[in-house]
Structure 1
Amino acid sequence: MLRKDVLKNVRKYSEPFRVTKGKDFRLKDFDPGDTLGLDLDKQEAKELLSRGSEWLALEQEILYAQDSWSVLLVFQAMDAAGKDGTIRHVMSGVNPQGCDVSSFKQPSDEELSHDFLWRYSVKVPQRGRIGIFNRSYYEEVLVVRVHEALLKAQKMPPRLVGKGVWDERLADIARFEDYLTRQGVVVLKFYLNLSRKEQKKRFMERLDKPEKNWKFSAADVRERRYWDDYMHAYEEAIRATASKQAPWYVVPADNKWFTRLVVAAAIVEAVDKLDLAYPKVSAAAKKDLAAARAELLAER
């Protein structure tokens, strides 16, 4: 499919869910079950996603060759929202050599001895590469905010931990992302917006199907008790950090096929704006290439 045709087909899926101004943002304005009125079967959705993935694979090769820009994709969501599956399907065609996935689990003692952004900053993708954060520095204003006992483990001086600590951290994150964008890092943030009802359905499926039992953890149900607290934390995070340079996408997550389309569309559109092109070969380099060609042709 031609480049312009791909863009025409995917662009309409990302715009309704992009958040660039957080001032009036309200999570309740976004429907987790939204599909923009589309009624596609699985095969149609798969074909659309495949086109976007193929285009992205071609652009990723040019991104690598150009060695100037890099792309950071940040994924945040409640449990069972489909982060892993979305990443796997959307990035299926991308060369693994040009892509890095970082999953941030419980911090180590070494990580707790550094500032809260340290372990994330060292994983920011190099120029020419795509980096994926499966959970990210936003956990520091989400799970740590909901479970404040975790903050005590971070060894901060007590007098620096006041009532405004969360606003301060959100401001630090916004400045960090602003810094990255000025260094040539394209930052795209995805909140997979799953409904509480759909989460329960997916948890029950993991319990009912033996082959999915491994995906379930009793801790998931315990975290579900804090649903309202998490929704408040997410809303505050998006409000404070949404910007034109580093937008959030509040992606409907109740229908996995649509989630993947929106994420793919957002990435394709953002990469297209970079207007990537293969590096131009200098006159001296062309001369070397001609000499190499002549030498190879002269071989017997």
Structure 2
Amino acid sequence: MDSFRKLRLFLFLFFSVLTITSATPQPQPQSCNDSPSLLACNYHSFSSSSNSKFQIPENSTLINDDAFSAGPNISSSSQIDFVPVQVSNDDNENSDNSENSIRKVHGILSGIGWGILMPIGAMMARYLRAFEATESSWFNLHMACQVLAYLTGTTGLALGIYIGIMSEQFSVHGYIGFAIFFASTFQIVLALNYRPKEDDKDRIFWNIFHYVVGYGVIVLAIFDMFKGFSISSSYHGTWKNAYFGIIVSLGCVAFILEVTTWFLVCKNRKKKEEEEEEDENSDDNNI
């Protein structure tokens, strides 16, 4: 019974406030046309309303408020100053600056993760094993670099998703980013948990899969980086040139390491053949 009374009291108060609010006259803003000297304004108050046209004198912003009087025989000695007011766009500018900052951080993290560290990790796996100093540690270096690239790039992807949600649209650039993320996730999970041993007969299939997916992700990442630069037209020129320089530098380093690696491989192979030949000759002499 008490609950029913409370409900009736709440409904009574709610509809009472609603009735009073709807019955109370609300002040209306002054509206003017865009004429440079002749202003047509509507002025509304709680007690009166008028529709008047008046002329603003040249080189002046002051006008008597008789135009807003409630009757023809009512005059006033006060004046209204029509001073132009400049509307501030600080909120819009702050919002644009915040969005641009998020876009920049997204580009930096994605570029470092997918576009730079990922190719460097692939270069470690291909070339470091040819050197004696890194022959036993190349895999750990390769794995650490790729995991760091994945974490950095995924953070950049998260910011990209936020940008897409705020702008209510996802472009081809974003869809390629999702493809890079899922392919990298699949690659890392398999490499850490289901990689066959070196003497396994299925190792050759794993190597082919690992190479194809890995280099495919790198190619997509580089392509998507330039796709992102084309979207951000405000600063894409400088960033595009800088990233292009980094990719060219990595390409030059890869070319030098490729030549050096083949030279070392051929040298070690020749040395191994000579040692085997010496062993065979020593065995023949012993006989």
Q: What TM-score, normalized by structure 1, do the two folds share?
A: 0.20
Q: Select the structure with the greater relative contact order (CA < 8 A; seq sep ≥ 6).
A: 1
Q: What TM-score, normalized by structure 2, do the two folds share?
A: 0.21
